[in-house]
A = this chain, B = another copy of it.
Amino acid sequence: VSATGIDAPRTVLLAGGVGGAKMAEGLAAVLPADRLSIIGNVADDQEFHGLWVSPDIDTLTYTLAGLIDRERGWGLAGDTTNALARLAALGEPAWMTLGDQDLALHIHRTRRRAAGERASTIAADVARALSVGPAILLPTDDVVQTRVRTDEGWLSFQDYFVRLRCAPEVRALAYTGAADAKPTAEALDAIARAELIVLAPSNPLVSLAPILAIAGLRQALAGSRVPRLAVSPLIGGATVKGPADRMMTALGHEASAAGIARFYAGLIDMLAIDERDGADAEAVRAAGAEPLVLPTLMKSAEDKAALARALIAAGQARRAAA
C-alpha cells in the first residue's frame, strides 16, 4: 500500500475495546497517519475517585503510542500502582486498577473538563503529546454511558465489566445520554470525507452500539456512499475475548456472523468473517452484507497489518466496481 490516494483511502475506523485498538494498530501500520481517523467509544467512561476515566479512548491512545501493556491489553506498560494502594488505605474502592502514570492522564483530563474544555480537544491533545499519528476522534463531547441491567438492577459498565468480571447475566443495555448527544463536527467531517469506513471487531453491543446510538452519527454512516465494512468479532462462532457472544445471545441476537450482519444492517456493505466461519458466508449475504472470508485473528503485528491490507483492498475493489 502506497501513500497515494487510490492505494491509501481516507479511512474512518469505529473502534472500542481491545479488538478496536488492535484493528487501529493494523490500519495505522499500513496507512499514512493523515489517512486514518478513529472514532472511539466514550460510553465506558466513568468517574473514579472524582476523576474522569475514559478506558476505551485511553486504550486506543496508549496502543497507538506504543505504550500499552501488551499482556493485559490495557494500561501503561511498566506502570506502578502506588497511588491506588494509598487510595485503598484511605478507604476508597480500588477494584478499578488505575496505575500511577495512568492516573496522571485522568487528573489532566479532569482538570481540563472542569475548565470547560471539549472532551475531543483534550483527547486530541493527549494523543499529540503521546506522539500518536492518526486522529483519535470522539463520537460526541457529551456524556454517553452504557448501563447494564442484571438481576441485581442497573449497573455502570465498569461495575459489570471490571468489578463483577462480566459474571451477571445481562438482561438489558441502555446508552444513557445517547438520545440527546450531539455528534462532534470532527467525527461527522471524517465520515463525510471518508473513502472507506471500517467497523472494528469490537463488541457490537457495548463498544460500537453506543457510538451508533448517537442519531447524527448513525445517519451519517447510513447515508455514506463509500464502502462500509465491518469485521466480525466472532471466530468459530465465539468471541476471542470478552462477553460479546454471551451478551448477544442473552439479548436476543444470534451470536453468529449472520447475527452480526443483521445487527449492522443498513450501516455496512461488507462483513469480514473468519475462515472458520466460512460456512456462514451465504447467511451473511442473505442478511444484506457481502461476506469477505479471511483470517481475522489478530495476534501479531503481521496479523493486524495483513487484515488491514485485506480490508483496504476489498474496499478499493468495491469502489472501483461501483
Contacts and interface: CB of A to CB of B under 8 A. Distances in A.
Interface of A: 49-51, 79-80, 82-87, 89-92, 99-105, 107-108, 110-111, 114, 125-126, 129-130
A54 to B, nearest CB: 14
Contact of A108 (B92, B101, B103, B126): B92
Given A83-B104, A100-B80, A101-B83, A89 B49 contact: no
Nearest to A81: B100
Contacts of A87: 104, 107-108
Main secondary structure on A side of the interface with B: helix
A48 to B, nearest CB: 9
How many copies make up the complex?
A: 2
A73 to B, nearest CB: 20
B103 A83 contact: yes
Contacts of A102: 86
Contacts of A51: 107
A100 to B, nearest CB: 4
Contacts of A101: 82-83, 85-86
A90 B111 contact: no
Contact of A83 (B83, B85, B126): B83
Contacts of A50: 107, 110-111, 114
A49 B107 contact: yes
Given A50-B111, A82-B100, 11 more contacts: A50-B110, A82-B99, A82-B101, A83-B83, A87-B104, A90-B104, A90-B105, A90-B126, A90-B129, A91-B125, A100-B103
